[in-house]
Chains A and B, each alone.
Chain A
């Protein structure tokens, strides 16, 4: 075992994993985390804590992860390369490990131009792939980047994101191969609406045998409304929502659109379960955490296995 995390045990034992996401509050309001955590507890195997997502200042992912542990949930601490250099990142990784965090996700991070401090200086000392290699070196060799020894055991289950929908499409399987070469243990994909493109990507992944080397969790973001479908399609970089899904959402009255979105999500889960090489789903129900239990239950994924 690399980390002894619940998520690692579930994935390594070949069970279908379910993870979800929690956006920390814009301040030290612990009750906001408690409220969202209560919706997720027992319904998913681990919960991602976003790291100043969309470059908006929020409660740190490390502190949020620690609060989650105290509440009895397992965190996946996200870490972006935008805000910290290699000194701060490695230090924070020690801190996270010391606080009991055993899963993390290595990300480039949204550019600060999208957030509430667009005048900030960006860092990008190392990128997400270099971060993966860094965490692996810390864990497996017991060394930081410069080669100095780490005091104590550093354990971490290393995750990363991958976006099969970004361009150029041809780079998307090689990019996963690169992350695997760097030492990633699990992948959570960008949210899937274009199932055909996802399947095409997975074919490429299997052709190179990458599905045998890394656990892939398919990312899903249930649609709340036709408006959200449109927004995701037009405004979110690297996300496209196919016409038929937008039309299906538009085709039902407003008050039934949320249910339609959940239905689509459930159909997607069924389809994903059949795709060889996909080992779980990552449900991103942003500000919709209270619906996660219903989705997981209706998908027949409850109760969650004890690791």
Chain B
């Protein structure tokens, strides 16, 4: 899923500025699961804004809501009225959610309350780690199911580099596991160490964000043919 974390409160307050009516809008999907932008976080952030505003002597009205998913138009119907009443919508969904609001309510000023960070998962309670970069041409089948693009600090396709020590990456030996150490261990355990010796050619990055803005067309799902 998409992992995000809340921006510092000061940055959020600076963004909303002198707005009088603010709708804090959460999302029930990824950001709820990673405790950054669900109903609970909406409530906390709304209270923080109210407290900060009253401290600053500002008369601000903060409303709250959380919809099922901010990345799909259909879920916005329920908050149409609330949004119409607000001067600004402060979204605490991922960056996709923020941009969806702009398309659904083009007349609204929308601010982002989160920093959208990576595709990952909660590895342990309170620990979220990155697993995928959406490179558009998955190589997991050649790397024992461990992604060196997202999980090697240098995205090496022929690792490990000379900085791998005790299973850790030179970039942060306390906290980052060396992906190529993990790949080596995994390939060993499944009897495929031969894959470690195959020279991977330069990757086709045109399927990644380097190739320009990406889209997928599924003719079978389309109502109007392109």
Per the 8 Å Cβ criterion, residues 64-112 of A in contact with B are 81-82, 86, 108-111
Query: A170-B184, A178-B158 are known contacts. Are A237 and B199 too (CB-CB below 8 A)?
Result: no
Q: In whole angstroms, what is the CA distance A181 to B200 when docked? A: 11
Chain A residues whose CB sits within 8 angstroms of the CB of B199 once the complex forms: 129-130, 133, 178, 181-182
- The CA-CA distance from A166 to B184 in the complex, in Å, is 13
Q: Can you name the residue of chain A whose Cβ is closest to the Cβ of B201?
A: A130
Does any Cβ of B come within 8 Å of A167's Cβ?
A: yes
Q: Which residues from B are CB-within-8-Å of A134?
A: 202
Q: How far is the CA of A175 from the CA of B181 in the complex (A)?
A: 13
- Please give the number of chain A residues whose Cβ is less than 8 angstroms from any Cβ of chain B in the complex: 36
When C-beta atoms are compared, the residue in chain B nearest to A182 turns out to be B199
Interface size on B, residues (CB 8 A): 32
Convert B150-185 into 0s and 1s, putting 1 for each residue whose CB lies closer than 8 angstroms to a CB of A.
000111111111111111001111000010110011
A144 to chain B, nearest CB (A): 11
Say whether A166 contacts B157, CB under 8 Å. no
Also in contact, A127 and B184, with CB within 8 A (given A108-B162, A163-B162, A167-B166)? no
Q: Once the chains are docked, how many angstroms separate the CA of A65 from the CA of B140?
A: 40
Any chain A CB within 8 A of the CB of B75? no
Cα(A168)–Cα(B166), bound, Å? 7
Complex Cα–Cα for A145 and B205 (A) = 14
Which residue of chain B lies nearest to A111 when distances are taken between CB atoms in the complex?
A: B171
Which residues on A sit within 8 Å (CB–CB) of B153? 111
Contacts of B184 in A (CB 8 A): 168, 170-171
Q: Mark A160-174, 1 if CB is under 8 A from B, else 0.
A: 011100111011001
Chain A positions within 8 Å of B, measured between CB atoms, are 81-82, 86, 108-111, 113, 122, 124-130, 133-134, 145, 161-163, 166-168, 170-171, 174-175, 177-178, 181-182, 190, 237-238
> Can you sample 13 A-B contacts with CB below 8 Å?
A110-B170, A125-B205, A128-B156, A171-B160, A171-B184, A171-B196, A174-B197, A177-B197, A178-B199, A181-B199, A237-B165, A237-B170, A238-B165
